[in-house]
């Protein structure tokens, strides 16, 4: 009895240690797993386009080549457009820092904030202190370390994007074979239902990805036109921010609107007010006109679940995690509706 108890305890301890080891491995590979998940969802999103080209009598390899060349072209074009703007804007800020600080100190908006604070010039003092801190050579080391960290982060982002693009190409080329191979893990009696659910999940996720990118593109293009008209600073960069954040459903457009409005405040309060009014109108149009029309064939994910999934995904994996979380939630809804509910009804 004692020996048996010892064996049970020993095996249990080994199981706990194995679980801890596996948890550590998953934690270390979290970024890689996130890249794999994002590449898989991108492949599912591009697969309907490939299938459409195949129906136009193109072989699959040619359709994949055309689609992937278009994706790479868009990616390279965005990078070639955005990076010079960021560099030039940074150079302008560095060269004209004193004038920028004086303009901010003498602006009507700062004067209004000082009046709200009782007229004690607390805002002026805070801005002057920040300017003095940035002008102090002793602080350049700390600032340089921050800039270096940002540079490393940007380089890591480019590396991650390259990895995702390569994985997307592999997944897109082997998507059909992956589906067939995964079917072998399911008992023969359940393979028909498995194929049905799998096709519905992959099709719905693909339509979701295309729909969300379409909404982001609409927001980006309209933002570029409007921000250029009202004279916002760096409208191309702000439009790219609007597009990128619009990929996160429900909360992304609002977050982008807040960021863009705050940046427009650097130009003038009137410009910021114009941006706020525009995005308030656009969010209504997107919610009641664009989104229902574009996303009508994708899985309807409840708003509360979208928020929970986006926050959870963002906490675990940043922006990429938030992007992946919503299709995962949509897939779980399909599994619940097509597998779990029918089993419950059968009993």
Q: What residues does each domain of the chain span?
A: 30-175, 193-347
Task: Work out whether the CA dihedral 70, 71, 72, 75 comes out positive or negative.
Answer: positive
Is residue 241 a contact partner of residue 256, using CB atoms and an 8 Å limit?
A: yes
What pLDDT sits at residue 144? Answer: 44
Q: Give the whole-number percent of the chain exceeding pLDDT 70.
A: 67
pLDDT band at 143 (very low <50, low <70, confident <90, very high): very low
Among 149-153, 211-215, 343-347, the minimum mean pLDDT is found in 149-153
28 by Cβ neighbours in 10 Å (0-12 / 13-18 / 19+) ranks as exposed
Give the DSSP H/E element, type plus range, for residue 314. Answer: helix 303-335
Is pLDDT of 40 > 90? Answer: no
pLDDT digits (tens, 9 = 90+) for 172-217: 888 878 888 888 887 877 778 778 878 777 777 777 778 888 888 8
Count other C-beta atoms under 10 Å from residue 92's C-beta: 13
Token pair in block for residue 137: 């050579």
What pLDDT sits at residue 102? Answer: 64
Average pLDDT, the chain: 74
pLDDT band at 223 (very low <50, low <70, confident <90, very high): very high
Q: Is the pTM of this model over 0.75?
A: no
Cα separation of 21 and 30, whole Å? Answer: 14
Which whole number is the average pLDDT over 52-64? 85
pLDDT digits (tens, 9 = 90+) for 87-136: 776 666 666 666 666 666 666 666 666 666 555 555 556 555 655 555 55
Is residue 64 a contact partner of residue 196, using CB atoms and an 8 Å limit?
A: no
Token pair in block for residue 321: 């995690």
Is pLDDT of 269 > 90? Answer: no
């Amino acid at each position: 009895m004692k020996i048996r108890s010892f064996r049970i305890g020993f095996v249990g301890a080994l199981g706990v240690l194995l679980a801890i080891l596996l948890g550590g491995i998953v934690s270390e590979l979290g970024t890689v797993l996130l890249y794999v998940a994002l590449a898989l969802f991108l492949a599912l999103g591009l697969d309907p386009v490939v299938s459409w080209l195949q129906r136009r009598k193109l072989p699959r390899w040619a359709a994949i080549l055309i689609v992937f060349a278009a994706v790479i072209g868009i990616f390279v074009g965005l990078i070639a457009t955005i990076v010079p703007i960021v560099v030039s804007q940074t150079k302008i800020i560095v060269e004209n820092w004193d004038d920028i600080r004086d303009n901010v100190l003498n602006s009507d908006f700062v004067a209004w904030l000082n009046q709200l604070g009782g007229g004690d010039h607390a805002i002026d003092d805070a801005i002057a202190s920040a300017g003095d801190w940035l002008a102090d050579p002793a602080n350049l080391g700390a600032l340089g370390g921050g800039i270096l960290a940002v540079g490393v982060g940007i380089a890591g982002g480019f590396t991650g994007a390259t990895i995702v693009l390569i994985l997307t190409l592999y997944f897109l080329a082997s998507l059909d074979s992956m589906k067939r191979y995964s079917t072998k893990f399911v008992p023969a009696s359940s393979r028909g239902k498995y194929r049905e659910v799998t096709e519905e999940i992959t099709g719905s996720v693909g339509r979701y990805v295309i729909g969300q990118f379409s909404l982001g593109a609409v927001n980006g293009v309209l933002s570029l036109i409007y921000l250029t008209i009202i004279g916002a600073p760096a409208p191309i960069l702000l439009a790219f921010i609007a597009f990128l954040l619009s990929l996160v459903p429900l909360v992304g457009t609002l977050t982008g609107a807040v960021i863009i409005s705050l940046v427009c405040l650097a130009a003038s309060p009137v410009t910021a007010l114009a941006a706020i009014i525009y995005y308030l109108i656009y969010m209504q149009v997107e919610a009641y006109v664009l989104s229902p029309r574009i996303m009508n064939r994708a899985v309807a994910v409840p708003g509360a679940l979208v928020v929970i999934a986006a926050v959870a995904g963002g906490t675990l994996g940043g922006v990429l995690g938030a992007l992946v979380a919503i299709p995962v939630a949509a897939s779980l809804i399909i599994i619940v509706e097509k597998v779990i509910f029918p089993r419950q009804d059968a009993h």
